[in-house]
Amino acid sequence: MLSPRSLAIGVAALGFAFAMTSPGQAADITKAKLYPDKKGTVADFLPMSKFCGTKPIKVALSDGWGGNYWRHITRAEFEDEASKCKNITETRYTDGEFKPEKQIADIEGLIAQKFDVIVAFLDTGPAILKATREATKAGIAVVPYSVGDGFPGKIGVDYVDRVTESQKEVGEQFAAWLAKTLNGKGTVIMFGGTPGNPMTAAQVVGWKPTFAKYPGIKVLEAEPVPTNWDPAMAQQKTAALIAKYPEIDGIYSETTGPIRAFLAAGKPVPAYVGQSLMDLSCLAADHPNFKMASMDAHTWMVRLALRKAVAAAEGIDEPEPSLITLPFTEDNTSKDPKLAIKCDKSMPMDSIPSSMLSKEQQIKALGGK
């Protein structure tokens, strides 16, 4: 069945419409080598200038939900990377508001407006693949990012590549740190983001079998506690969990809400592992008795997604890895000076120390706070 856009083109342009949606057009965006199975680290990254090409193109970030500091910083990283190519004539951002039908409509709108590149964070998971498949068929270079290494979809059909940290590996690393820090014995709670998001789901595949190696570790909630990555919601849910469980020894969370719940309750903060965040760093600096480790928050993953997508649209081979191993950036249980706490109270508390933006760019992205 013809799409509304194809019908609007009219019979006179039917041949052109067919060319836009035919496998021949898709072949143009898939001829560049993007190395989807290549693993590496940030040390393997290359400058955007190598992949800009010369063809004028329009690029867009389709966000499944844009409602917190991580998304604001990620959007700024995307826009900063796009600014490095003079042939990028338009940069667009859309917010799916955590509604699959909204993000699908956003992507269909970008198809109708003939964007050349779409990078996407797919909060509601496989539900959006219908739209990314339609975009890929229309010759648009689609690259989802931070979806985890087990995300469904077929490269070359649903998107040209996906770039991601191994969320399974992230889950393994967080669980291993908690088990080691607790000497293999204790109770832990694992928090998640929005319900059903692919990042949290992929982490579970890593932390469940890792904890299973430690019979002295008990996970108090069988599944991740959803928080929408909202510190206030995380704090509220943690307060209820403190009332439910008399002893909580370890926590994984991507916000500082759980820490604030323990402080508000006048209780010692459990061993805590999460993502790089200035608020976390400064809480650890102000309360040095609680054990903390943080991992790179990978807001820069969107830059890699954009480089891959632009390279595909320009027909340029892109040899950077697509599967990225994330490092720990802080660990106050370690003697390694590189893992020292990175509190900078001149910065907003919702800034991210591991971002590739400058201090000034982060402040602007966060509303100048």
Q: Model confidence over 276-285: pLDDT tens digits?
A: 999 999 999 9
pLDDT for 30 equals: 80
Average pLDDT over residues 311-339: 97
Interacting residues of 129 by C-beta distance below 8 A, sequence separation 6+: 122, 152, 153, 158
pLDDT for 123 equals: 87
pLDDT for 125 equals: 84
pLDDT at position 6 over 60: no
pLDDT in tens, 9-42: 333 333 333 333 333 333 489 889 999 999 999 9
pLDDT for 158 equals: 97
Place of tokens 């039917």: 14
Q: Determine the distance from the C-alpha atom of residue 83 to the mean position of all C-alpha atoms in its chain, rounded to a whole number.
A: 21
Place of tokens 């009332």: 243
Helical (H) or strand (E) element with 294: strand 292-295
CB count, 10 Å around CB of 163? 27
What does the alpha-carbon distance between residue 235 and residue 246 come to, in Å, rounded to a whole number? 17
pLDDT for 14 equals: 33
Q: Enumerate domains of the chain plus CATH numbers.
A: 16-166+299-326 (3.40.50.2300), 167-295+330-365 (3.40.50.2300)
pLDDT for 12 equals: 34
Interacting residues of 141 by C-beta distance below 8 A, sequence separation 6+: 29, 116, 117, 118, 160, 308, 309, 310, 312, 313
Interacting residues of 109 by C-beta distance below 8 A, sequence separation 6+: 94
Average pLDDT over residues 125-145: 96
Q: Is the CB of residue 305 less than 8 Å from the CB of residue 163?
A: yes
Higher pLDDT, 23 or 142: 142
CA quadruple 254, 201, 38, 158: dihedral sign = negative
Reference 177, options 292, 25, 321, 8; nearest CA is: 292
pLDDT for 124 equals: 86
Looking at the DSSP assignment, which residues form a beta bridge with residue 191? Answer: 225
What does the alpha-carbon distance between residue 296 and residue 142 come to, in Å, rounded to a whole number? 25
pLDDT in tens, 77-109: 999 999 999 999 999 999 999 999 999 999 999
Higher pLDDT, 59 or 19: 59
The percent of residues in the chain predicted with pLDDT above 90, rounded, is 84
DSSP 247-263: ---EEEESSSHHHHHHH
Phi and psi at residue 281, to the nearest 5°: -60, -45
According to DSSP H, which parts of 83-183 are helical? 100-112, 129-137, 167-181
Average pLDDT over residues 68-75: 95
Higher pLDDT, 271 or 19: 271
Rounded to 10°, the helix 23-30/14-21 angle is 40
For residue 89, with 0-12 CB atoms within 10 Å meaning exposed, 13-18 middle and 19 or more buried, which class applies?
exposed
Confidence of residue 326 (pLDDT cuts 50, 70, 90): very high
pLDDT for 196 equals: 83
pLDDT for 151 equals: 85
Confidence of residue 64 (pLDDT cuts 50, 70, 90): very high
Reference 82, options 102, 54, 58; nearest CA is: 58
pLDDT in tens, 192-246: 998 888 889 889 999 999 999 999 999 999 999 999 989 999 999 999 999 999 9
